[in-house]
Chains A and B, each alone.
Chain A
Amino acid sequence: MVEQLLTQPRTTTDPMLPNLFRIHRVLKESYDTFTVELVSLEGYQTFPFAPGQFNMLYVFGVGEIPISISGDPLHPETLVHTTRAVGTVTKAMRELKPGDVIGVRGPFGSAWPVKEARGADVVFVAGGIGLAPLRSSLYHILSQREKYGKIVLLYGCRSPEDILFRKELEKWRARFDLEIFVTVDYANSRWHGNVGVVTKLIPKAPFDPLNTVAMVCGPEVMMRFTAIELVKRGVNPENVYLSMERNMKCAVGFCGHCQFGPTFICKNGPVYPYSQIQSWLSMWEV
């Protein structure tokens, strides 16, 4: 299949047809999470995207899955994805090595509101693998630091072993213009940081709720309770953005697999304002 795709010149920009990318580098982020850096095999020098968008990654012979872009939008020459190995495709992807080829369709979906947030404090709330889809937005905002108020990252994960992008978090923590609070669900006494769920960090985090844009990413339950806590603190629900996940197939709004309320996550999402989706979040079937 890969050979066939490489030898047949592309005649259309069919959004259903994967572009071929070679794995340039694989980084182990934790025991179950890894980052792949991809370069185009079809001569694309860059792969522009907006922070928050995702690609459909195709592991040939196994399947195709949506994964957010976790790289720096200012460096679109390599395409970066961070994935947690949970099932068939993600586990097969974890076995890939530098030089292997992968199919990429995208970028798809809505972006984090990085323009709308200018002039305001920005609070990132990440849970587990949710830090990966937020990272591109963090890169973007830090590259234009002067345009924003306070920047706060609240990051929760299961245990110290689950913390992603450790080195980068340490580097960011050393900056004076970004506040980072990390919390884990449980730890032994060698851990010197916070213990408790990420929502616990919200009441005391240093931001002005009346002038804040919040970007939240993680499993749905975590996002639901985070949004409630942010609103309780005084953040306007219109300024709270969540990145939703549903099973996806086509990623271009044809198949209906990712329907969420009257919308399709692949086209209208994945990033939505909480005010728009609040009532669908607690429904059992939407």
Chain B
Amino acid sequence: MQTFAEILKETRFFKDLNPEYIELLAGCGSNARFDPGDYIFKEGGDADTFYLIRHGQVALEVHDPRRGQIVVDTLHEDDILGWSWLFPPYKWHYSARAMSLTRGVAMDGKCLRGKCDMDTALGYELMKRFAVIMVDRLQATRLQVLNIYG
């Protein structure tokens, strides 16, 4: 069986991260599994985890009282789910629902925040990686808002 450190090393997100840091971060990981239709988290709930999706598809949803649940994004294998654990007030902005059987690694945000506070170089490495994801998603959202298909 693969260790968490081995699993993390294979992901796009942690690729090339110093092996010592990988070992350190692996201590904050646990297995996660969701059946189709399961909510991984819900809008407004406490955000204390992020997920590395290893298999499956996840819908990010917003609730609209008139239209019901609106899916605004989908995430897949090797994607990162969740960054609200990084910033106060540590609450989820969206809901995340497994669209198919979804497996991954749940990373304990509180545990990570503690390790980053103790080792700012590690914190900087993680922040850089999250910044890339946030910029990519911001660009994609801008295009969505632009209604680029005319």
Chain A residues within CB distance 8 Å of chain B: 84, 86, 127-130, 156-158, 162, 183, 185-189, 191-197, 199-200, 204, 218-219, 221-222, 225
Q: Known A188-B67, A204-B78; judge A196-B73 contact (CB<8 A).
A: yes
The residue from A195, A204, A219 contacting B74, defined by CB atoms under 8 A apart: A195
* 25 sampled A-B residue pairs with Cβ under 8 A: A127-B148, A129-B149, A130-B149, A156-B148, A158-B147, A158-B149, A185-B144, A185-B149, A186-B70, A188-B71, A189-B59, A189-B68, A189-B69, A193-B74, A195-B59, A195-B71, A196-B144, A197-B143, A197-B148, A199-B143, A218-B148, A221-B143, A221-B148, A222-B148, A225-B143
CB distance from B96 to the nearest CB of A (A): 12
CB contact under 8 A between A204 and B146, given known A188-B68, A189-B61, A189-B68: no
B103 within 8 A of A: no
Contacting pair B68 A156 (CB below 8 A): no
Cα of A243 to Cα of B125 in the assembled complex, Å = 41
- Quote the shortest CB–CB distance from B63 to chain A (angstroms): 10
Q: What is the bound-complex CA distance between A130 and B73, given in angstroms?
A: 22
Neighbouring B residues of A218 by C-beta, 8 Å: 148-150
Q: B144 — which chain A residues lie within 8 A by C-beta?
A: 185-186, 196-197
Q: In whole angstroms, how far apart are the Cα atoms of A96 and B10 in the complex?
A: 57
Residues of B within 8 A of A197 (CB): 140, 143-144, 148
The residue from B67, B69, B78, B149 contacting A127, defined by CB atoms under 8 A apart:
B149
Instruction: List chain B residues, Cβ under 8 A from A191.
Output: 71
Q: Which of B70, B99, B140, B147 contacts A196 (CB 8 A)?
A: B140
Q: Which of B93-150 contact A (CB under 8 A)?
A: 97, 99, 140, 143-144, 146-150
Query: Is B24 located at the chain interface by the 8 A CB criterion?
Result: no
User: How many of chain B's residues touch chain A, expressed as a range?
Assistant: 20 to 34
B107 to chain A, nearest CB (A): 21
- Asked if B99 contacts A128 (CB within 8 A), the reply is no
Contact indicator A129/B150 (Cβ below 8 Å)? yes
With A197-B143, A204-B76 as contacts: A162 and B149 at CB distance below 8 Å: yes
B36 to chain A, nearest CB (A): 9
Of chain B, the residue at the smallest CB distance from A224 is B148
> Inside 8 A of B17's CB, which chain A residues have their CB?
none
| Of the residues A200, A204, A222, contact of B149 by C-beta under 8 Å | A222
CB distance from A182 to the nearest CB of B (A): 11
Q: How far is the CA of A127 from the CA of B147 in the complex (A)?
A: 11
Most A CB contacts (10 A, CB to CB) among B67, B140, B144, B150 go to B150
- Taking CB atoms, residues of chain A closer than 8 Å to B147 are 158, 185
**Complex formed: what's the CA distance from A230 to B25 in Å?**
33
Please determine whether B149 and A189 come into contact, CB atoms closer than 8 angstroms.
no
Q: State A165–B125 Cα separation when bound (angstroms).
A: 46
Residues of B within 8 A of A192 (CB): 99
- Chain B residues 14-37 with CB under 8 Å of chain A are none
Measured in the bound complex, the distance between the Cα atoms of B70 and A185 in whole Å is: 10
Q: A195-B72, A195-B74 are in contact. List 13 more A-B contacts (CB 8 A).
A: A127-B149, A158-B149, A186-B70, A186-B72, A195-B59, A196-B73, A196-B74, A196-B140, A199-B143, A204-B76, A204-B78, A218-B149, A219-B148
